[in-house]
Chains A and B, each alone.
Chain A
């Protein structure tokens, strides 16, 4: 239902309906901001990336054919803007410690035990992701959270597919080592022992 609403809005916006475009922004901007924040790790930078992304979407909407999902297209544009932005940031200033994000679960789990475990893991992961260099975190965010194909990731980050894959493996390895620093995992080894 949500996707049909989005596609209707896209169609109306393409016909020049500015209100439809505004509604499209209203429905998607929090998601876009979340991705921008995950890619830049900074509130102000994420805001700039989101602004730039919607300007590009507005300009390029006629080129959006609708054979891909609008959200995927928007994620790609956001990734591209963030990449450009980070390139500029590296040249212009040293990274400071970013502020804690204001996190909200869109689909909270009912089971409190599961909620606690997942919540802990998510918090640890969010922390771990922020500890990675932006080049590595971008790839793992786009692939393992947003499910973009390697080819799209490579395109938007301006690197080869094989470079994107190498960065992904490195990022996963670092995340795993950070989450499980002692290599042990209670219970699991026992259950696999034959």
Chain B
């Protein structure tokens, strides 16, 4: 195995234990100082990355309140409003139908126009 191939293996396996290295790469490493140095760098890199798990980036103190506020159920109000709106539309259409076909036509065409506008 050549250095170039071993380099690829190291980035892929980046092993913490020698046992994780393919045999051919391990043999090459035995006699190549350059690849040994690279392996050592990868090991340090991985240890460092893994240690970042212990580091917390402190959020701004308002974040928790914002999350909790977002989760508090305003949903029923929204649903009610939506239901009310639908009722109002149905009532409107119903009333129009009751007053005559011409009225219903106006109500429906209004609805269509608002859909198109969106």
Contact = CB atoms under 8 A, between A and B. Distances in A.
A and B: partners?
yes
B48 A121 contact: yes
Given A30-B59, A125-B52, A145-B50, A172 B42 contact: yes
Interface residues of B, number: 37
Contact of B45 (A55, A101, A103, A176): A176
A11 to B, nearest CB: 18
Question: Interface residues of B: mostly helix, strand, loop or mixed?
Answer: helix
B64 interface: yes
Interface string A159-177: 0000001000110110110
Interface string A112-143: 00000010011011100000000000001000
Contacts of B48: 118, 121-122, 124-125
Nearest to A101: B57
Interface residues of A, number: 55
A183 B52 contact: no
Contact of B59 (A29, A118, A147): A29
Nearest to A192: B36
A34 interface: yes
Given A118-B48, A169-B8, A169-B12, A106 B64 contact: no
Interface of A: 18, 21-22, 25-26, 29-31, 33-34, 37-38, 43, 46-47, 50-51, 54-55, 58, 101-107, 118, 121-122, 124-126, 140, 144-147, 165, 169-170, 172-173, 175-176, 179-180, 183-185, 188-189, 192-194
14 contacts: A29-B63, A30-B59, A34-B55, A50-B63, A50-B67, A54-B71, A103-B55, A106-B54, A122-B55, A140-B49, A175-B45, A183-B34, A185-B40, A192-B36
Given A125-B48, A175-B45, A175-B49, 18 more contacts: A38-B52, A51-B67, A55-B71, A102-B58, A103-B55, A105-B54, A106-B54, A122-B48, A122-B51, A140-B49, A147-B50, A172-B14, A172-B42, A176-B11, A188-B37, A188-B40, A192-B33, A194-B31
